[in-house]
Structure 1
Amino acid sequence: MAAPSEEALPQPRRPFGRRLLTDPARLFQHNAWDNVEWSEEQEASAKSKVQENSSQLLPPDKQEEYEVNAKRYWDDFYKIHENGFFKDRHWLFTEFPELAPNRNPSQNEDSVREHSYKEESNNAGLGSCENGHCSLETRAENQLNLIKSTPTFCTEELAPQKRSEVNQSYGDYPGSSASYRILEVGCGAGNTVFPILQTNNDPGLFVYCCDFSTTAVDLVQNNAEYDSSRCFAFVHDLCNDQSPFPMPDESLDVVILIFVLSAILPEKMQCIVNRLSRLLKPGGMILLRDYGRYDLAQLRFKKGQCLSDNFYVRGDGTRVYFFTQDELDDLFTRAGLEKIQNLVDRRLQVNRGKQMTMYRVWIQCKYQKPAAPQP
């Protein structure tokens, strides 16, 4: 049998992040174009739409209702969609090589790669957004009795020496023997966790994943790919600083926030980032991808759905915030982290069948805990 000709061999796909629309006549040749520059008119139109859809705020009693019932709305979301709403995020290993088996630390500032169209273009929000509201389930207490010595008080206001004493009480906790520990906050149905477990066969890897939706954690634990020797899924309420984590401070190499922070009440974000920062080892990193200001999802909101500036409630009761780079930089630097990456991904997505264009705006960040000073 003759060898295939050079022309017949499959050609390597052009990397995403470098598919640039230089000829408007080619607009519908691809499903997406990267690093799309907005005109002054487009920017002004986006600002005008946001001013219009935020001109009427929901009354305080309705806003309080969405906060109090946040968990129920996300439980309902996963009861309806289960694990069929979002595609697995295999793009993570291109954007965040820290998750790959070789844990390549090199940073690629202009790397803007392929993302699941179904995942990021849906106005219902990303499946991992649900974490970060209030009501720790009894089930979490049952899961965490593996670590009965875990303190149930918040360590945020404790002096470093006292926090060190608290950490020593953890003893043999889930993943304590691992050499590389990852926590995904707001794991949803596992669309990030399972690609990591499938792709990264490092024997020293241990992955924690949490969500404050009990239904979501059930989906993860009942997945055929769930391996309790490599993964620990647990219910957790990030907004309740009395909720214990199953691992001590300074034990994690990576914390992942994929479309999660945007679902949290804005005034609670800083405390949450502070808590997560303390979990990182010196040199550990938070990896984030979330909604950017003037994303298509923000422009589609109508009057009567705005809770506060750039913070909205969807039709299903879940909520979403739209960030600027400066806002995220402020949150992370105030938590003592150093910027490695903070970029805007402006994507032009194309529906060739309907001849429609959709402008998406996402922000991607990497912030690192400073290394411990050398003696």
Structure 2
Amino acid sequence: MRATQASTIPVPPSYSHLHKPTASITTVGRSRRHSHPTALKYLDHKKGCHSEDHYQRNATKYWDNFYKRHQDKFFKDRHYLEKDWRCFFADDDVYPNRKVVFEVGCGSGSTLFPLMAAFPNLYVHACDLSPHAIALVKSNVNFIADKVNAFVSDVTHEDLCDKIDPFSVDVVTLVFMLSAVSPRKMALILENIRRVIKLNGYVLFRDYAVGDFAQVNVFQCIFTSTMALGSDRPFLLMRD
């Protein structure tokens, strides 16, 4: 995604065409470890789980508990990004000085640190909703304070310009981040990012897509469970 001066952020589409669930609880296992939880449970509100709004309101608490429980052991380091996205991070004639990267939803650093190892000239801003995740980043042996600005932020409503100079970022990365927030808030995140990215900067994202390998292999029941919380669109609750 390329940033332009007249960028317009579209409203997320409706998911009202999806079918209702055939089962109240479905557990989907997976055979390989990548960026997915070991199991997903699609819960019917009749079985006693909270509403979607409850989990959205308390997202900080749930993500903080997640990182306190798993520390930096859950997600593998994403070394494949340095191969797939090399052209965006490598030094070139257009940007002779080191590039500035903003990692949104950095977690414990599974994207951040492999990129810094592959491209040592980078300067990286990194934020996460979880204070414990940011503490893990700062305690990592590869953390360099002069090269990383790690901070806690809810990018759905907190102004990023309080932490990052406006229009100073060359590349923004969103790796399995957008799928972790409500579609209603995705446009707000992109609008917030627009305030810190340079004109003609890049927004790079990797996430689940309907029909791709990860979705087919891991989320086999995504469409039979999308209405599980009484919503008109997918809402998946990960119990890890």
**TM-score normalised by the chain length of structure 2:** 0.71
2:106 aligned partner: 187
* CA RMSD after TM alignment: 2.8
CA positional deviation for 1:309: 1.3
CA positional deviation for 1:244: 4.7
Is it true that 1:90 corresponds to 2:79 in the alignment?
A: yes
Where do 5+ consecutive residues of structure 2 fail to align? 1-17, 25-43
Is it true that 1:314 corresponds to 2:233 in the alignment?
A: no
Deviations 1:77-108 (A, max 9, x none): 11111111111111102211245434599xxx
2:219 aligned partner: 298
Query: 1:88, 1:191 within 8 Å by CA — same for their partners in 2?
Result: yes
CA positional deviation for 1:223: 0.5
Is it true that 1:53 corresponds to 2:27 in the alignment?
A: no
- Aligned amino acid, residue 126 of structure 2: C
Query: 2:91, 2:99 within 8 Å by CA — same for their partners in 1?
Result: no
CA 1:214–1:306: 2 relative to 1, 3 Å? farther
Query: 1:253, 1:285 within 8 Å by CA — same for their partners in 2?
Result: yes
**Identical counterparts, % of pairs:** 32
1:141 aligned partner: none
CA 1:63–1:311: 2 relative to 1, 3 Å? closer
Is it true that 1:207 corresponds to 2:196 in the alignment?
A: no
**What pairs with 1:1-375 in structure 2 (closer than 5 Å)?**
51-53=19-21, 58=45, 62-102=51-91, 179-202=98-121, 205-242=122-159, 244-294=161-211, 295-296=215-216, 297-300=218-221, 303=225, 304=228, 307-316=231-240
> Higher relative CO (CA 8 A, sep ≥ 6), structure 1 or 2?
2
Where do 5+ consecutive residues of structure 1 fail to align? 1-49, 106-177, 317-375
Deviations 1:275-317 (A, max 9, x none): 112211112100000011141333345753574412322235x
CA 1:220–1:311: 2 relative to 1, 3 Å? same
Query: 2:106, 2:126 within 8 Å by CA — same for their partners in 1?
Result: yes
- CA–CA distance in structure 2, aligned partners of residues 195 and 255 of structure 1: 16
**TM-score normalised by the chain length of structure 1:** 0.47
Aligned pair count reads 193
- Aligned amino acid, residue 210 of structure 1: C
1:367 aligned partner: none
- CA–CA distance in structure 2, aligned partners of residues 306 and 262 of structure 1: 19
